[in-house]
Amino acid sequence: MSGSAESKHPASTPYHEPSISVILIQSSFLLLLNVVNALLDRAVYCGLLGQVFVGVAWGTPGANWIGIRAEEVIVQLGYLGLLLLVYEGGLSTSLPSLKANLFLSSWVAMTGIVFPIGLSFVLRYSFEATPLQCFAAGAALSSTSLGTTFTVLSTSGLARSRLGVVLTSAAMMDDVIGLVMVQIISNLGQNSSSFDSKVVRRGGSISVDNRARNGT
């Protein structure tokens, strides 16, 4: 048993020299990420969008040049980078400005939630969708990306302005409510016949209670 365990888990990872094609692909990927980011940041303050397209082109949805193992590592590093972006955005946000614009931020966040869900139900009969499908589509559209918001605002120099504070706080509210709505949808399941306001309220209370118990 010990011999088989040692064969499955070697003491050290063997070194294999990468081929020239792998070196060229990965080096061009890193170089192009930085070049596209710098150019788009200067032009339209959205270098992150260009990096997303480069990742799509080099990764699995596109040419699949990077490889699945490298993609897994990049995803893990990207998640750490996202956490650092959100943390940096929270540190750079002015608390007095946040309190002063809390009412306006709440209205912006409410608009970002109510409008997508309402639009999904308005288009319900055009696509023959169920109420649960409409609610799920609206919930997916209402969620924002804090990392993208912080990146664009910091690049454009608007992070400490009133507009930046309002957008940042509204994005945080939208993301929190979006996570609750995702939990509601998972609690509802696939049975759209049981979809009504009471079920949504009950699912929301269960989600909030679970997150409070877990400390998240």
Q: So where are the chain's domains?
A: 94-192
pLDDT of residue 195: 53
pLDDT of residue 61: 78
pLDDT digits (tens, 9 = 90+) for 59-93: 887 888 888 888 888 889 888 887 887 787 777 77
Q: Kindly report which listed range (32-41, 94-103, 158-167, 179-188) carries the lowest average pLDDT score.
A: 179-188
- Asked if the model's pLDDT at residue 35 lies above 90, the reply is yes
- Asked if the model's pLDDT at residue 147 lies above 90, the reply is no
Q: Which residue has the higher pLDDT, 184 or 215?
A: 184
**Alpha-carbon span 199 to 197, nearest angstrom:** 5
Prediction pTM value:
0.64
Q: Are 142 and 116 in contact (CB under 8 A)?
A: yes
Q: Which residue has the higher pLDDT, 143 or 211?
A: 143
- Asked if the model's pLDDT at residue 97 lies above 80, the reply is yes
Measured torsion, CA atoms of residues 96, 97, 98, 101, in degrees rounded to the nearest 10:
130
Q: Are 130 and 195 in contact (CB under 8 A)?
A: yes
Residue 126 has φ and ψ, to the nearest 5°, of -70, -30
Q: Are 97 and 162 in contact (CB under 8 A)?
A: yes
pLDDT of residue 117: 86
- Count the neighbouring beta carbons within 10 Å of the beta carbon of residue 178: 18
CA nearest neighbour of 185 among 126, 150, 138, 153: 138
Q: Which residue has the higher pLDDT, 216 or 103?
A: 103
pLDDT tier at 208, thresholds 50, 70, 90: very low
